[in-house]
């Protein structure tokens, strides 16, 4: 099996990245047809962090971070390092030293389906990380893998240069070829939500403007004026 590193990848236009950065993960996920969402098992290390940038993908063998070290050289400012593993891994494959090296390269953040350590230091420097686990166990550096190869992270497929968005709600990937359509759909969704907010502010009920009363009726949901009324009907 060939193991390889691709040095140069196609990245989205910076203008598009800036437009996506104004959006949130939930909006983009819904707008692009409820695809690209990464497993909820990957959690942010520090609430309030938000990133939006092109993916540099890394595939390592579980418990071995050799390819993460190789990927540092490939990263460019604004990139997001997306780390997947062959085999389940909660080993602390990234710590303070690697984070410092990524900061030096201008990397925005890390999404990893493995573990991390030195969390206090990572929080202190403000570097955004989403990971599956926090674990002190160290990793080896002896197994070759892949940098900038197609990967699956947290159950979602990601290719080098795909857009990675992450915030307090989670992580979503947007395929390079779908960026324009996803952006247009996301902006339309945001406009629709603004209209919905206005209707709520006016006192309108979501049951009515979403036409949900008919569904309640179809599901045989019955209204009672009080618990006593419900009990009285049941006793008849």
Domain count, the chain: 1
Asked whether residue 223 is assigned to any structural domain, the reply reads no
Res. 233: pLDDT tops 90? no
Q: How much is the pLDDT for 1?
A: 85
Is residue 228 in some structural domain?
Answer: no
Please indicate, yes or no, if residue 205 is contained in any of the structural domains: no
Residue 143 is assigned to a ligand binding site: no
- Confirm whether residue 216 is marked as ligand binding: no
Look at residue 116 and tell me if it is in a domain: yes
Average pLDDT over residues 148-160: 98
What CATH number has the domain bearing residue 66?
3.50.30.40
Q: Where are the alpha helices (DSSP H) in the chain?
A: 14-20, 25-31, 66-74, 96-105, 119-125, 179-201, 206-209, 213-218, 227-235
Q: Is 3 annotated as a binding residue?
A: no
Give the whole-angstrom CA distance, residue 149 versus residue 152.
10
The verdict on whether residue 212 carries a ligand-binding annotation is no
Task: Assess if residue 127 is contained within a domain.
Answer: yes
- pLDDT higher than 70, residue 107: yes
pLDDT at 236 over 70: no
Residue 183 lies in a domain: yes
**Average confidence score pLDDT of the chain:** 96
Q: What is the pLDDT of residues 29-86, one digit of tens each?
A: 999 999 999 999 999 999 999 999 999 999 999 999 999 999 999 999 999 999 999 9
- Tell me if 101 is assigned to some domain: yes
Tell me the C-alpha to C-alpha distance, in Å, between residue 189 and each of 26, 31, 52, 193: 11, 7, 19, 6
Would residue 219 count as lying in a domain?
Answer: no
Q: Is 87 annotated as a binding residue?
A: no
Instruction: Say whether 96 counts as a known binding-site residue.
Output: yes
Structural domain that includes position 145: 4-187
């Amino acid at each position: 099996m060939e193991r390889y590193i691709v040095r140069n990848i196609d990245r989205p236009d910076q203008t598009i990245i800036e437009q996506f950065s104004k959006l949130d993960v939930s909006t983009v996920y819904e707008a692009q047809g409820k695809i690209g969402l990464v497993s909820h098992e990957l959690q942010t290390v520090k609430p309030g962090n938000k990133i939006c940038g092109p993916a540099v993908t890394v595939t390592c063998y579980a418990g071995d971070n050799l390819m993460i070290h190789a990927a540092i050289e490939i990263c460019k400012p604004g990139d997001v390092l997306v780390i997947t593993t062959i085999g389940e891994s909660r080993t602390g494959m990234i710590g303070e030293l690697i984070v410092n090296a990524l900061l030096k390269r201008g990397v925005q953040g890390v999404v990893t389906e493995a573990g991390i350590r030195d969390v206090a230091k990572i929080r202190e420097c403000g570097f955004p990380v989403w990971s599956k686990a926090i674990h002190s166990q160290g990793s080896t550096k002896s197994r070759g893998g892949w940098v900038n190869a197609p990967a699956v992270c947290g159950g979602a497929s990601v290719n080098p240069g795909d857009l990675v968005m992450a915030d307090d709600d989670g992580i979503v990937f947007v395929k390079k070829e779908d960026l324009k359509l996803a952006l247009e759909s996301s902006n339309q969704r945001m406009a629709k939500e603004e209209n919905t907010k206005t209707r709520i502010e006016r006192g309108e009920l979501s049951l009515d403007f979403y036409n949900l009363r008919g569904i309640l009726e179809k599901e045989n949901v019955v209204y009672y004026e009080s618990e006593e009324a419900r009990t009285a009907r049941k006793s008849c």
